[in-house]
Each structure stands twice: as C-alpha cells, then as structure tokens.
Amino acid sequence: MRKHLPVLTLSVILTAALAAFPAPAEKRVLRVDDLFRLAAVDDPQISPDGKLVAFTVTTLDAKKDESETALWMVATGGGEPWRLTARGDSAERPRWSPDGRRLGFLAERKVDEDEDEEAKAQVWAFDLRGGDAQRLTQVPQGVVAFDFSPDGRRLLLTIRDPKPEDLLKPAERKEKEKKPDPHVIDRRQFKMDGVGYLDRRRTHLYVFDLESETLRQITSGDFDDAGAAWSPDGKLVAFSSKRTGDPDSNDNHDVWIVSADGDALASSQLDADKGQTLRQLTTNPGPDTQPQWSPDGELVAYLAAVEPDLFWYATPHLAVVPAAGGEPRLLTAEVDRHVYFPRFASDGTIYFVLEDSGAFHLAAIDVDGGAVRRLVAGERSVYGLSVSRGGVAVLMSEPQFPFEVFLLEGGGPRQLTHANRELLAEVRLGKVEEVRFKSADGTEVEGFLTFPPDFNELLTYPALLRIHGGPVGQYDFAFDFPSQLFAANGYLVIRPNPRGSSGQGQAFSAAIFADWGNKDYEDVMAAVDDAIARGYADPERLGVGGWSYGGILTNYVITKTDRFKGAVTGASEVLYAANYGHDHYQLEWELELGLPWENRELWERLSPFNRVEKITTPTLVMCGAQDWNVPVLNSEQLYQSLKRLGRTTELVVYPGEDHGIDRPSFRKDRLQRYLDWYGRYVKGETTRGDGP
C-alpha cells in the first residue's frame, strides 16, 4: 500500500510527478463560482429535413440570483450555434412544425405591458422565414406541453385544470390573493414536492386549431393524462393515464387512445364510451408510459414495467402493441436494463436510450424484435434523443465535458455544440476512472473514482465517499461538476453504484427492497476499502455524504462506523414512521414497508434515528424548507438528536426551496459549505476556502 508521505519529501515527489503528468501552466483548477459559467445544454430537436437542431441552454445569473433558459439553433452542416431568444427571456420545449417552417416553444412572456404581470406559459413560434416570435395560445392557467399536428394546423396541448383565481381579471386576482381560501383535501395523495397540497384539479389534453383559434378538450375526469402523441394521420392521440380504480392508490398507468376530433366529454361519458372515443390499449398492471406511434400508424411503442410490486425497482422494457388492439410484445425483456425515450424512425426502426453499467447508450431495435444494436456506446452518457426523417440528434456527455448536442452519422456521433468550450479551456479537470470491486458477500460492484487534477500516484489523498440519490439511479460517465470541484480541492472522490442502483439489472436494484442500509452499506464501504487498497485514499482522512437517498444511506453509514472524519447528510430521512402522511410517498411506503401500524417493527428497525446515539462523526445536516419529497422534519430530528447528544453538528435550511435546491446563490452556498465542512473535519483546515 502506498503511504501518505512526509512533507520533507514532497518537493522531490512533486518534481517527479510533474514530469510524468505535465499540465499546461496557464490552466487553473475548478472553482465554486464556475457554477455560474457552466452552460446546461438540453432538449435537442432535429428539424424534419435534418438541417437544423434547436436546443436549450440554461445558465445561472449570480446578480439576478435566478436561472435562465434560452433557445438556440445550430446547423448540422457546420458553423457556430446562434441564440434565438433574448437575454432575460426564458423559453423551453422547442418543437418543430412538420414542414420545418416554424419552431414552437413554451415561454412566460407578455405581448404588451398592459397584460397581466404574472404571465403563464404559452405556446409561441418563430417563423424560420423571418420575423419575431408570435404567441399562438392564450390559456389562462398556462400550457404544460404541446406538439404540432402532422398537418401543422393544430396543436395538441397538455393543460392542468385552472384554479378559480386563474379565471379572474388581474385586479380581482390580486384582491383574492390577500384573502386565500383554506386547503380542502379529500385525496389519498394530497401533497407533492414542488407543487404543494393537491386538490381535484387534473391535467388533461386539448386540441387547439391554429386558424380559428378554438380550443377543444378531448380528455377529462378525475385523472391526470400525460405523454400525449399524435397518430400519423392526425385523427387519434395516444397518451398514458391511471384510469383504473383510484389513481392515488396504484401506479397502473396504461396507454389509451382518444379521438382528436371528439367533443369534450364528462367523466361518466368517458367510462361509457371506451370503445368509440376513448380506448384502453394496454392492461399491464404496472406502469405503461411514453407512447409513440409507428410511421404507418399500425403500432404504438411504449415503456412497460411488468412487475408492479417492485414499483421503482422494476425495470421498464420497450414494448409494442397494435394500435387497433391486441397482444403487446416486450422487445427488450432479455436485456434486463432500463430503457428510455422510444422514438420511431421513418423506416420503422425504434431508437431508444439504454442504461447499462454506468453508461447510457443510444440503441435501436426492429419492431419485429431481434438483437439490440448499440449505435453510440462506450464510456459516455446519452440523455436526450430526437429523431426525424432527416436524421438523429442526441444529447451526450463524457467525464471531461458536460452535455452537448451531437448528430448521429455513419462514422459515429459528431459534435455540433461547444457551449462550455471557454470554461473547459481554462481549467484542469480530474481524471475519472471506472472501477469494479467485490462487496462483503462477493457481489461485484461498480464505481467511479475522480482524481485531483495534479494527481500523484505516489501519494495518498483525503477521500470523499459520495452516495447518489434514488436509491434507483446511478453514477455514470457524464460530467459531474461537484465531483470535479471536490477533486480540484485535493480530494479523491469515490462514487459507487451500490445495490439499489439501476444499470446492473432488476435483481441488483431490488436487492435492497425493504432492507435499506444493509447490502448497500456493505457495497459503499467496499468502495472505500477498494480505493484504500489501490493506494489512492488515505484511510485517516475520509469523508462521506449525499443528498436524498444519498443522505439516507449516509445516515446508515455514520450509525454503523466511525471511520469517517466528516459527514454531510442532505435532504435525508431518519425516523420513517414520522414521514407517513407527511411526505409525498404514501403509496411507496405502503408497497415497500407495509402500513406503519401493522408492520411497525420493520419501520423502526430500518430507521437510523433509533441508532442515532452511535453517531460520533461531525455531521452537517441540510435541507430545503419546503421539501415535501423528504421533508425538513427529518433533518430537524437528526440535528436535534445530535445536538442533544453533544455531537459536532450544524443544521442548514434553505428558505423557499423544495427537494431540488434551485436558487443560484443557495446552490453556490451548498457547494461552499460542503468544501468548508470537509476541509475542517476531513483535512483539518481552519479557513474557508474555494480551492487552490
């Protein structure tokens, strides 16, 4: 094992290391403030003729303390991208008209200053032949999603039912806001993170005629409808909805088909008219989502999770079913890996994203089945996919660069955008290495190591075990800003994919079902032992932390071992029974642990709160004040317990924030607090720092 060398020999070692690992002198390491220079590219949409790709770029504004999403365009033939929307004018969801002449998008903007101050998201469109963007819709409560019809004359809109105040005039609405009504709740699922308390307002589908500017509702009832897609002839719409039993008591999304030309129907009419106007296409008791029509309109492809008892641990497969009705076929059942974003090509091939072992690959399969073909593979992650008759565009990242837009060509993907070129030219990033190791019971586990930019293989480094959320999810080959920031501050960053993670098959993911903090604990500790055995990590300078389930597993870690010098647990759970009816997981709690008054022993056995006295690690506790995914109650209970026990701890609560911390200044603050806490307790530093 390599040792942490004495300071007296450091200059000699560094001289040899620099000769072996030269770095451009003009480059610097990553800093916290680089968060505000990072451009997040997303949602690529290739034009019907394949000559253009529209996409979004989200940036953080430190002065305004807000984020901004802009529309951009790039020609597939080459050249620099250009910005379509003005600064300070956020927009999202670019979508092409079938003839490629218009680019629609969603934006909250006013046509003139006399309009309501609180503009709602509406559909706007650029005419590519010239002119400013024109507003196409004016829905009082705003639009959630949209798509052009195949003939370009209509829009398929997803709209949530309005609040009563949405229909009032601006002055009346302001007056109403001074005297709000109480929340009156009668649903089993009565709250949702990022939304708040839920009522009976639902999300439904509408068709908007662009010429007559008339809006027609085509679904209704006490259900939410999503994932809507036009049939190729524009006569039908496929969508996903939970319309079997109480939608709050199951996750049984099915694919349905509705006429795009039908009149608005009442809930009772929908139930009575399934054979003509509304037709159920799938009957799988698990979730069937993301329907997509084949070019000839004969088939509908979708994602199907066929083991509903495993809910989020179940693997979604690619399936097809005849649009006229019939038996579905699972096309990827033998692959045993998650699939996402099914898209038909003009020849009937189905493209999709395949999650596999720390990577997300672009894959394809014929509608008749057969072998899955990996079109973009290797150590990279594809997160977005757009297919038109003119080509295929993807959103892709690798460890050394954030997501950018690529065009699929015969020789492989060709990069079209370089949104972070200037930042990447200035900084030295740490090498990222995929590793595999054995857990305590012999199970092979995958992980990623991120090395300091000036890594010297003769030294050992302070190491941070960073645990991902989920638990279903994984670390992958995509660029990861926090890990690179930690590495820039001299840490070896250990990011394992323990059991519970996706990417290794359903059995691997479901291995922690109703057994949290056991096998996954062994796996993350094996990751630390592996990094030490490789001679990279200093066993006397270890830190641990994570957000969401990453925070939950951190709580297990620090109740079971005192090996870590510092811990950061963010948005975690600690006393599970306290969450029933308080967070938004009422159905998931019941499916995995049973009802707390019937199966209380399991609830208590799994709760880290009941072993809190074993925690000796200095622990920073963090959460958003409005988090209803993992409510701040948990963080407060953990903090109060540690404080009462006399442990070193601190509680940080971000006002107005839900589970995802969105405000730019808070995102910076969180990163800086990570560095300060780890610096103080893992490295033994006494000053606040932002890297070398």
Any domain includes 467: yes
Q: What is the pTM of this model?
A: 0.91
Tokens matching residue 11: 């200059």
Provide the 3-class DSSP secondary structure of residue 498. Answer: coil
Give me the residues of the chain with pLDDT under 70, please. 1-25, 111-118, 262-276, 687-692
Q: What is the CATH number of the domain that holds 523?
A: 3.40.50.1820
Distance CA 18, CA 453 (A): 11
DSSP string, 539-584: EEEEEEEEETHHHHHHHHHHHH----SEEEEES----GGGGTTTSS
Please give the pLDDT value at position 685.
Answer: 87
Please give the pLDDT value at position 6.
Answer: 34
Any domain includes 622: yes
Any domain includes 548: yes
Any domain includes 18: yes
Any domain includes 340: no
What's the structural domain count of the chain? 1
- 608: domain range? 7-30+429-683
* E strand or H helix that includes residue 464: strand 461-467
Any domain includes 388: no
**What's CA 399's distance to the chain center, in Å?**
18
How many DSSP H helices and E strands does the chain contain?
12, 40
Q: Which residues are within 8 A (CB) of 586 and not within 5 positions of it... i.e. 6 or more apart? A: 188, 189, 248, 580
Distance CA 45, CA 58 (A): 16
* E strand or H helix that includes residue 173: helix 170-178
Task: Kindly report, residue by residue over 165-205, the tens digit of the pLDDT.
Answer: 888 777 777 777 788 888 888 888 898 888 888 888 999 99
The residue ranges of DSSP E strands in 47-161, in sequence order, are: 52-61, 66-75, 82-83, 92-96, 102-107, 122-127, 134-135, 145-148, 154-160
Please give the pLDDT value at position 687.
Answer: 58
Please give the pLDDT value at position 116.
Answer: 55
Please give the pLDDT value at position 691.
Answer: 44
Provide the 3-class DSSP secondary structure of residue 35. Answer: helix
Kindly compute the dihedral angle of the four CA atoms of residues 436, 21, 465, 514, in this order, to the nearest 10 degrees: -30
Least Cα distance to 396 among 411, 408, 406 occurs for 406
Distance CA 596, CA 104 (A): 48
Please give the pLDDT value at position 13.
Answer: 29
Distance CA 108, CA 123 (A): 9
Any domain includes 177: no
Any domain includes 510: yes
Least Cα distance to 278 among 221, 233, 319 occurs for 221
